A and B are shown apart, each in its own frame.
Chain A
Amino acid sequence: MPLVVAKDLAKSYGKVIAVDGLDLTLDEGFVTGLIGPNGAGKTTTIKMTLGLLKPDRGYVEVFGQDPWDNTAIRSLIGVIYEKAFFPPHQKTLDYLKRVCRVFGVHESRALEVLELVNLEDASDRAIKALSAGMLQKFAIAHALIHRPKLVIADEMTANLDPQARSALLDLVLQLNKNEKVTFLLSSHILPELSRVCDSMAIINEGKVWAYGKLTELYEKYAVGIVRISTDNPEALASEIKKLNYIEELEIDPKGISVRVFEGKEEILYEDVPKLARKVKAKILGIETGSASLEELYRLVVGTKERK
């Protein structure tokens, strides 16, 4: 059952088009990543999904309902904003107890969620006295207090140290597995998303450029990648670039990463040794590679831009 359905969603700020005909369906039980460059429309999409902004065109439904000023669905959604703000002069545990009362949850849940994010030691501290990382943890605790079915997070791991990030990603996986919580996570940190997401929406220029299960996206976009290890990558790369079936080429510390047109991998395998001999480069290894999420993102954006 889809929890979020967005159809032809559009939103502009004056002359700036933030979202332009975006379609997205978020299925129950998935951890979906929302990735895209700055200004792609991720935050605006999230805000319309949460009923904070009204679309100029199209519609979005959450749990089958319009999210604008809809109190019925708010008990089902947990929200984590990029910058979290709470009444600054209240103490963390006191405020969370207040939120428990707002949602009709037993007050013992307040300490429970603080422990979940390792913030129990700060239970007596005023919210304004929390560090940026602690405030982000507090926001996560706040979002989970009413055991939501859907968690929507915009840059959830911002301000967190590596250890806290890792713990949080484990928590996402645990909640998804044990309590069937669906997540929509917007982030720029792609390795983190690749660790927890099973589906991905790549958004750019206010539209979804690619969406689906990660395995399907890799099958569709990340084919024809060959990695070549060599002692002279610059010289060899300049020769490989001249081949007419090369779609994309990149030099990285590990060597050369080449993407060829469909079905041309074997021809590349034959051509590379010849070109290496020509430039006197030594081939250390050559293999058909799998793409990282970052590469997948670049491939999708590259493919779409060429179109």
Chain B
Amino acid sequence: MSVRKKSLALVGVMVGLLVVVPGLCLAQEKVELTFWHHEAPAHRVAAFQQAIDLFEKEYPDIKVNQEIVMWGDAWPKTLAAIEAGNPPDFQFGIPDLLLTVYRANAIVPLTNLVKEMDEKYQFFPGAIAPYHHENESWGVPIWTMAFLLTYRPSYFEEYLGTTEPPKTWEEFLDYAEKLTHAPDLHGIGLAGAKNLMVDEQAYCIMTTAGAKFFDEKGKIIFDSPETIKALKFYKELFQYAPPGADAWSWGEMELNIAAGTVAMAPYFPSVQKRFYEEFDTSDYAGAHMPYPPDGKPGTICYPNEIHVYKQTVAKGHLPAVEEFVKFILKPEVNYILTAVQEPGGFYPATEAASRAPEFWNDPIITRFKGMNEAAMEALEYATLYGFEYGRWVNLGIGDITGADILADVVNRIVTGQMSVEDAVKWGAKAMEKYSEPVG
């Protein structure tokens, strides 16, 4: 190639670059957000994508990518990403995960956004409380989950001559006994293994008796008459659970509820999707958890939130993330992440979304309307262990949950390894190892 031709080619390349580079720069103005969530089933991923597609249509300058990290990997992968300085822009989480990233000094407060959304849509108290610390809000609740006393009305009718659910502990125990017709039917689906589900089932009973892990200053008060009373009741109920329930996890519980081998179970009302799609029956209902005469209504709730990483602010992505959060909190959009994503599993975190016609018009939500209304009512008083005071009182709660200490206590009781009193004493001591009172 002659010098002239080479020069011409060089000029051509430079002209080309002059044309292409500004174009590329303009294209880069489109903000690209990446977020992690932990809802791996295909229908949940599809629901997320549905919300993202609507958002991208309304905000063509923002591209949103969902990445799925399984719940089991959420903690190590998040911490590794933080350590590597490359976390996603934002992430869906639960209080334990939020506490983890907060303690890793990786997130920014979202107080103003939460305040604005609260004024507009009114968060349920139990949804917002686990994310408040040192006068700041660190996560924005997007949906929440709650346990109810789920049951099979047909069994109530057949064996008890009523469709009314039990309201007191006395009735609860009586129902469990009368509904037990072993080996085919057992009164209650309660488990006793060392896992998160048992933590949740036990807390459902404990909270109705007023038992807590911590006092207002974060001191461990697990070894209390209330805890002992609640776990004694748990033990009494457990005698009407199917054999082998001391080894159950989520799968076994849902299998037994669906198969009709248990008449009642404190559980997420999420099996309604199966009853609707697979069995096409309405023989599945939910009610408030029964409570003792000196107790109060109570259950567990698990608000799911969005938290934002420091790097997101540095990248200038925070405004785009805030737009996305505001968008998915709109009641007419939020139902996609609740009723569409997992009917009965995920409920609105705001009063406004809980009244949205889009939510109530979902065919599964409609079929099990009574159950879903009870869940909405329960969200008014539902709490999460360690987060009952509207702020963080003990930073060790994540580790205490991670170690499944409450479930371990239950396991020691139901397998006869320890008396209730000794197991509770052991549990309180085990919690001390991880305790970090905020004061």
A and B associate:
no
B interface list, Cβ under 8 A from A: none
